[in-house]
Amino acid sequence: MKQPLTVKALQQHIKAIDFQPDKQYEVALKLFEEVGELSVEMRKAHQYGLSAKRKQAIMYELYDVLHYVTHIANLYQIDLEEAIIEKDKINAIRYHEREGLPHD
């Protein structure tokens, strides 16, 4: 049976396949490029409607953005699961929202 994907597993996978500790600037540029590509696909969906093809393009661009965000976290030795939990707690207080994300 397949195990659910976790942030930690994704972070480990990206570190194994794409870790370039001496390329912080280049990785940041790739993130900006991918955010731009995502915004183009979102604009197309807004202008022309969300077809199955556009939805898939948005899905792929979201992964690319997530890949480079995760790569940057790896470069700076940041545990993304920990960052998500901590920042969600801060936001819940700041914006008077519900409890933070459920976690162990």
Whether 96 maps to a domain, the answer reads no
Whether 23 maps to a domain, the answer reads yes
61 close to 44: Cβ distance less than 8 angstroms: no
pLDDT of the residue at 3? 84
3-state class (DSSP) for residue 102: coil
pLDDT of the residue at 95? 85
The residue segments making up the domain with residue 52 are 7-79
Could you tell me which residues come within 8 angstroms of residue 42 by beta carbon, excluding any fewer than 6 positions away? 58
Q: What pTM, to 2 d.p., does this model score?
A: 0.87
Whether 103 maps to a domain, the answer reads no
- Joined together, the tokens standing for residue 3 give 């195990």
Whether 13 maps to a domain, the answer reads yes
Distance CA 103, CA 25 (A): 33
3-state class (DSSP) for residue 59: helix
> How many domains, in total, are found in the chain?
1
Quick: pLDDT tens for 65-94.
Answer: 999 999 999 999 999 999 999 999 898 888
Whether 1 maps to a domain, the answer reads no
Question: What CATH number did the domain enclosing 16 receive?
Answer: 1.10.287.1080
Q: Which residue has the tokens 């480990």?
A: 12
Task: Check residues 4 and 1 and name the one with the higher pLDDT.
Answer: 4
Whether 89 maps to a domain, the answer reads no
